[in-house]
């Protein structure tokens, strides 16, 4: 997600740590949470559209977003 940015911009970004945590979790657990978050944000935080794009039931998306929030301590809209 932030790979294309220079290192000084990435480390200064307040969300860098959260994305790093998600990447590590995805690597160890094969969860795809970064892709879920990216799609959710790309749809303007529209859960229904994100679920459709990911071919998920809306409740499954809600569970994934809750997992993202618990891992990153972020509050998603």
Q: What is the 3-state secondary structure (H, E, C) of 14-62?
A: CCHHHHHHHHHHHHHHCCCHHHHHHHHHHCCCCHHHHHHHHCCCHHHHH
Show the beta-strand stretches assigned E in the chain. none
Q: List pLDDT tens digits, range 5-64.
A: 566 665 667 788 898 899 999 999 999 999 999 999 999 999 999 999 999 999 999 999
Contact yes or no for 18/50 (Cβ under 8 A): no
For the entire predicted model, the pTM comes to: 0.84
């Amino acid at each position: 997600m932030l790979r294309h940015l220079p290192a000084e911009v990435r480390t200064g970004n307040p969300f860098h740590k959260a994305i790093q945590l998600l990447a590590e979790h995805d690597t160890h657990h094969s969860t795809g949470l970064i892709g879920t978050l990216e799609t959710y944000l790309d749809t303007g935080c529209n859960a229904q559209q994100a679920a459709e794009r990911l071919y998920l039931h809306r409740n499954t998306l809600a569970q994934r977003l809750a997992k993202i929030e618990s891992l990153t301590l972020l509050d998603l809209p």
